[in-house]
Chains A and B, each alone.
Chain A
Amino acid sequence: DAKTTQPPSMDCAEGRAANLPCNHSTISGNEYVYWYRQIHSQGPQYIIHGLKNNETNEMASLIITEDRKSSTLILPHATLRDTAVYYCIVSGRPDTGRRALTFGSGTRLQVQP
């Protein structure tokens, strides 16, 4: 699986958009970008995933650059409950072999009141 690089921490004001960057310059053509988050003392929670098109769901938007070497997770209106560690993960299709996710260090997002 391709390695990802994320800033260790970020702050965001409540009600503002949180933009979390991720670099994955070694991503290969069949690898997807997944985002999970982990709120303190809980198991990780799936947020969103994408291949090359931008994606949006009820939780967030995922913007992937045209060369696919980086992506940004956008939480449009951050709330205090969004304070968590956010993990950007690059992984191949589940039916092509190892299906475990490789979690890095993530970005600790602190939403400030």
Chain B
Amino acid sequence: GAGVSQSPSNKVTEKGKDVELRCDPISGHTALYWYRQSLGQGLEFLIYFQGNSAPDKSGLPSDRFSAERTGGSVSTLTIQRTQQEDSAVYLCASSLGASGLYEQYFGPGTRLTVT
């Protein structure tokens, strides 16, 4: 079946502009996660959704970052007034939610470059 998809695959933006990154999780997966990976670094957790609510936003680096999820499916990560340090690959993952142990399935990522 279809995996996690993300769009755009690449985004180049000027410093100070706003950007929106989209994630389409696997159908039926109620949990959705956003991570980012700077060049040569490990993954950094940003935010987690269970359904449309976000019980864990602890990884968002500043108030310029926000995310929403609608209909328990698609999620959008918005970065306002982008800075050069925001340049990274933004990865989305989804998993079956509720209780139990489920692996996370990752999308291919969006490579964001802030010039």
A9-50: which residues lie under 8 A (CB-CB) from chain B?
32, 34, 42-46, 49
Tell me, yes or no, whether A67 is within 8 Å of chain B by CB.
Answer: no
In the complex where A103-B42, A103-B43 touch, is A98 in contact with B58 (Cβ < 8 A)? yes
CA distance A93 to B101 in the complex (A): 6
Which secondary structure dominates where chain A touches chain B? loop
Q: Which of B98, B106, B109 contacts A95 (CB 8 A)?
A: B98
Tell me, yes or no, whether A99 is within 8 Å of chain B by CB.
Answer: yes
CB distance from A8 to the nearest CB of B (A): 12
A90-113: which residues lie under 8 A (CB-CB) from chain B?
93-95, 98-106
Does B42 contact A106, Cβ atoms closer than 8 Å? Answer: yes
Does A34 contact B103, Cβ atoms closer than 8 Å? Answer: yes
Does A105 contact B59, Cβ atoms closer than 8 Å? Answer: no
B1-48: which residues lie under 8 A (CB-CB) from chain A?
4, 31, 33, 35, 42-43, 45, 48
B61-115: which residues lie under 8 A (CB-CB) from chain A?
91, 93, 95, 97-109
Contacts of B45 in A (CB 8 A): 100-102
Contacts of A42 in B (CB 8 A): 108-109
Does B42 contact A99, Cβ atoms closer than 8 Å? Answer: no
Does B48 contact A100, Cβ atoms closer than 8 Å? Answer: yes
Contacts of B48 in A (CB 8 A): 98-100
CA distance A99 to B99 in the complex (A): 11
Does A43 contact B107, Cβ atoms closer than 8 Å? Answer: yes
Q: A42-B109, A94-B100, A101-B43 are in contact. List 12 more A-B contacts (CB 8 A).
A: A43-B91, A43-B108, A93-B100, A94-B101, A94-B102, A95-B99, A99-B95, A100-B33, A100-B48, A100-B59, A103-B35, A105-B42
B residues at A contact (CB < 8 Å): 4, 31, 33, 35, 42-43, 45, 48, 56, 58-59, 91, 93, 95, 97-109
- Would you list 11 pairs from A and B whose C-beta atoms are within 8 A, ordered by A residue? A43-B106, A43-B109, A44-B106, A49-B103, A87-B42, A93-B99, A99-B31, A100-B33, A100-B45, A103-B42, A103-B43
